[in-house]
Structure 1
């Protein structure tokens, strides 16, 4: 498998105070099984579907006051060069390029509006081994209160084209590499409580959105929005039992017309 092209979402991991609780929740909801926790990397634990790596879970590092949250990693052929662009474009870097054994090099950063994300320069670990199948990564969106700054930042750092949806009901943009959208961007309006920070909303694919919501809430999750059917699928946004936001989507159940888009960058 070739390493993903620059700017492509290539991996997702979650940090949780209760690692075993997170393993149980996502295992029951998404059908994940787990590899052995890697003690040399702080208990980092890969999740699998049929033996193929789809995500990872990890406890917070000792002394680190990190929220329970998902992190999406964007591919880079040169983590140091990408880090320089993040600095130059007004982002913040929490973890400068750090070699992770022979697996690759990671960076943790945030855009000028506070949306946290990761950068991954692949070594032996090239990222997702499965996408879109039920239980695997499907999509992600930048949730931000500063959409113009986010659009300019991500376009400058990763070379995305930016297209605005022509929809009066929502301020939403698509970030693309060539013809293919790779991320969405959603303006956080008054419907988001002030205590909800900007974040990267990660979607996992499910076979049946309504059934997944019922299962998730029975396991202690809270439904935040949906289920709702749009031209791209039927989705719902949730908060897991430890407060980490994520979404589920059934891409086979669609409805409505695909809105027009206007290229803005």
Structure 2
């Protein structure tokens, strides 16, 4: 597999206090199967879609229990150098950089707008083995209450160029790594309760958005938004039974014209 361009989303994982419940939920909603837990690495358990590694779940370390959330990792050729850029541009390194055996080097960070994300320098584990197919990662957006800081931070740490959507009703920016649009940034409005912090919203691909929502809610998930049609696909925002936010999208069902954008520095 070719090395992913710097800043490209390359992996996602989440900590769950009830790992078996998470397996049941995501197995039914996204069709995941699961590998053996790695006791050497805190019972880290990879999830597979059609035999391809697409994410992982892990129980929290004792004393580290917190609200579950999906963590998106961005590719780096040098995690230590990226960590320095994070610090130099107003971010906070929360963990690492640390080597994870031969698999790679990781760190966790918080950008100035408040969203937590990961950095991954691939070794034998390069990241997603599949994307944009049912059960696999498709897209992600930084939801932030301070978009000005986030907008300055991301291209200072990663070699992104940016485009702003030309729509007065929404404050949405897209970031490109090379020729590929890889991330979005959404301003959090008053629709979000004040206790909800900034976060990275991860989208997983599904074959049928409405069916996925139905499965999720029957298993105790909460529908937050949608389903809604868009030029990118039919999507919905959910919380799983343990409170982790994520979205599902059927990229084969599209409606409307692609939005106009303006390049921004």
Matched residue SS, 2:95: strand
- CA deviations on 1:126-171 (whole Å, 9 max, x unpaired) are 0000111100001000000011110110010011111110011110
Matched residue SS, 2:229: strand
Name the structure 1 match of 2:146.
146
Cα distance between partner residues in 1 of 2:32 and 2:105: 25
Cα distance between partner residues in 2 of 1:51 and 1:257: 34
Contact 1:115 1:198 in 2 (8 A): yes
Name the structure 2 match of 1:219.
219
Matched, 1:85 2:85: yes
TM-aligned CA deviation for residue 178 of structure 1? 2.5
Aligned 1:190-201 pairs, distance under 5 A: 190-201=190-201
Cα distance between partner residues in 2 of 1:67 and 1:161: 32
**Divergent runs of 4+, >2 A:** none
Structure 2, unaligned runs of 5 or more? none
Cα distance between partner residues in 2 of 1:99 and 1:2: 21
Structure 1, unaligned runs of 5 or more? none
Matched residue SS, 1:150: helix
TM-aligned CA deviation for residue 183 of structure 1? 0.3
- CA deviations on 1:218-237 (whole Å, 9 max, x unpaired) are 11100000001111110000
Cα distance between partner residues in 2 of 1:133 and 1:83: 31
Matched residue SS, 1:215: helix
Cα distance between partner residues in 2 of 1:12 and 1:31: 16
- CA deviations on 1:114-135 (whole Å, 9 max, x unpaired) are 1000000000000000111100
Name the structure 2 match of 1:109.
109
Aligned 1:1-265 pairs, distance under 5 A: 1-265=1-265
TM-aligned CA deviation for residue 179 of structure 1? 2.5
Contact 2:17 2:65 in 1 (8 A): no
Matched residue SS, 1:230: coil
Cα distance between partner residues in 2 of 1:157 and 1:143: 18
Q: How many residues align?
A: 265
Cα distance between partner residues in 1 of 2:7 and 2:123: 16
Instruction: Give the RMSD, CA atoms, in angstroms.
Output: 0.8
Contact 2:142 2:184 in 1 (8 A): yes
TM-score, structure 1 normalization: 0.98
Contact 1:14 1:71 in 2 (8 A): yes
